[in-house]
């Protein structure tokens, strides 16, 4: 299997278009036309991770955090990023990152956390508002079913647990083909009226190019009329963070105990809190502190994220209880998530989890053993 096939499969599950505007999810570097000899999964790209991939015989590395956030003006040995790029190119490695594309996905770390905590009535905390559009086309009545099928097969018309959703209305299409045209119906130089059906479907922007290609291939007209319209539809499953209800009221200490069953939690920082039990909670992996106001306004009594600024702990008291337990710690599960997705395509025979993924934040232990 070529690495490009593996990436294409991943992007059908986690489209790059889900990423935030500041991000650089997707292919970082490398020749994806080569056969995949093995995949290494990691949180970050480091020199140790790259050497691990070579030692394991892997030529593809999939990470959560991108190696390249900004363009490089040169490649020397001055910075670890430049050294990593040079090493990867020398050893013909491919590096791919699923960062906020994964964070904003229903397959990502936020919904994973919600499932592991047994949350009920789960919704995205901050829905992505610019992710969907409406594709509208017009076709002869007898061709409408074939077009609907082609659109559905390409992934259009997905709404929650429903697929192949569309709306149609019949009308009349009018056109006059030129003398150089090859019309499906009517004749060159003659005005024509054709009974047509208008077909409208919801499409996420990650599938838009695929849907438009399928539509043009299935449409009988030489020059089909196709409208791509922006809409304000917000999916309850696409966006930043999650919010939901715990199976039972719990204290912060009890919640941390439940979290420790599926991920390491070494230390928790929190805003003013009197020990009361909470029922409605919100979560956002990584640097999600900007969402605490939204969490409070939507009824969350506790908002958990990876990291926050000093003043966030003051300001949050007007909205909710803010708790953090580390950026790295809150995203450790992304290795397993990516592994589970990729294993659907390639199995587990050539899939490795890095033993060199390490938190870049280190803590100094005091002499009495306390941290």
| Percent of the chain whose pLDDT exceeds 70 | 98
Q: What is the pLDDT of residue 160?
A: 76
**Average pLDDT for 330-336:** 95
Tell me which residue of 220, 230, 155, 146 sits closest to 183, measured CA to CA.
220
**CB contact set of 238 (below 8 Å; sequence gap of 6+):** 18, 104, 105, 106, 124, 127, 128, 131, 204
In this structure, whether the domain defined by 3-99+332-353 belongs to CATH 3.40.1390.30 is answered with yes
> Is 70 exceeded by the pLDDT of residue 46?
yes
**Average pLDDT for 340-368:** 86
Summarised one tens digit per residue, pLDDT across range 213-235 is 999 999 999 999 999 999 987 87
Contact status, residue 137 vs residue 215, Cβ threshold 8 Å: yes
Q: Do domains 3-99+332-353 and 109-127+237-325 have the same CATH topology?
A: yes
The whole-angstrom distance between residue 223's C-alpha and the CA centroid of its chain comes to 34
369 pLDDT band, cuts 50/70/90, is low
**CB contact set of 266 (below 8 Å; sequence gap of 6+):** 325, 326, 329, 371
Residue 231 to residue 185: CA distance in whole angstroms? 33
366 pLDDT band, cuts 50/70/90, is low
What are the domain boundaries of the chain? Answer: 3-99+332-353, 109-127+237-325, 132-230
> Is 80 exceeded by the pLDDT of residue 365?
no
237 pLDDT band, cuts 50/70/90, is confident
**Average pLDDT for 126-135:** 90
Summarised one tens digit per residue, pLDDT across range 267-276 is 999 999 999 9
- Give the DSSP letter of residue 175: E
How many CB atoms neighbour CB 173 within 10 A? Answer: 18
Q: What CATH number should be reported for the domain whose range is 109-127+237-325?
A: 3.40.1390.30
Residue 185 to residue 124: CA distance in whole angstroms? 47
Q: What is the pLDDT of residue 370?
A: 52
338 vs 350, more confident:
338
Q: Enumerate long-range contacts of 252-259, CB under 8 Å, 24 or more apart.
A: 252/278, 252/302, 252/321, 252/323, 255/117, 255/281, 255/302, 255/304, 256/325, 258/117, 259/113, 259/116, 259/117, 259/325
Tell me which residue of 197, 186, 104, 193 sits closest to 151, measured CA to CA.
197
What does the block give as tokens for 175?
Answer: 């056109």
Tell me which residue of 233, 227, 304, 232 sits closest to 271, measured CA to CA.
304
Tell me which residue of 294, 300, 277 sits closest to 114, measured CA to CA.
300
Q: Would you tell me which CATH number, out of the four given (3.30.160.110, 3.40.50.300, 2.60.40.10, 3.30.70.120), belongs to the domain 132-230? A: 3.30.70.120
């Amino acid at each position: 299997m070529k690495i490009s096939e593996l990436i294409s499969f991943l992007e059908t599950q986690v489209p790059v278009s889900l990423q935030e505007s500041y991000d650089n999810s997707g292919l970082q570097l490398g020749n994806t036309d080569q056969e995949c000899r093995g995949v290494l999964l990691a949180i970050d790209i480091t020199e140790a991770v790259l050497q691990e991939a070579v030692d394991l015989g892997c030529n593809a590395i999939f990470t959560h955090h991108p190696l390249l956030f900004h363009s490089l003006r040169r490649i020397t040995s001055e910075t670890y990023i430049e050294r990593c790029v040079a090493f990867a190119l020398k050893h013909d490695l491919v590096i791919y990152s699923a960062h906020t594309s994964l964070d904003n996905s229903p397959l990502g770390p936020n919904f994973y956390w919600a499932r592991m905590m047994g949350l009920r009535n789960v919704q995205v905390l901050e829905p992505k508002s610019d992710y969907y559009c409406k594709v509208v086309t017009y076709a002869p009545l007898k061709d409408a079913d074939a077009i609907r099928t082609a659109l559905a097969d390409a992934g259009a018309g997905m709404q929650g647990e429903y697929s192949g959703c569309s709306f149609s209305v019949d009308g009349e299409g009018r056109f006059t083909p030129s003398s150089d045209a090859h019309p499906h119906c009517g004749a060159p130089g003659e005005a024509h009226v054709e009974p047509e059906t208008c077909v409208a479907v919801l499409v996420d922007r990650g599938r838009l190019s695929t849907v438009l290609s399928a539509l043009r291939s299935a449409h009988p007209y030489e020059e089909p009329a196709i409208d791509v319209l922006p809409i304000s539809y917000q999916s309850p499953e696409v966006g930043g963070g999650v919010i939901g209800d715990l199976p039972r009221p719990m204290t912060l200490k009890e919640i941390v105990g439940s979290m420790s069953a599926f991920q390491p939690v070494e230390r928790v920082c929190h805003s003013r809190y009197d020990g009361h039990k909470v029922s409605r909670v919100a979560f956002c992996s990584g640097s999600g502190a900007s969402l605490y106001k939204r969490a409070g306004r939507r009824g969350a009594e506790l908002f958990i994220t990876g990291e926050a600024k000093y003043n966030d702990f003051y300001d949050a008291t007007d909205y909710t209880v803010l708790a953090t337990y580390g950026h790295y710690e809150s995203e450790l599960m992304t290795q397993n998530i990516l592994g589970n997705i990729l294993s659907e395509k390639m199995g587990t025979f050539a899939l490795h989890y890095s033993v060199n993924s390490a938190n870049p934040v280190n803590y100094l232990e005091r002499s009495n053993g306390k941290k």
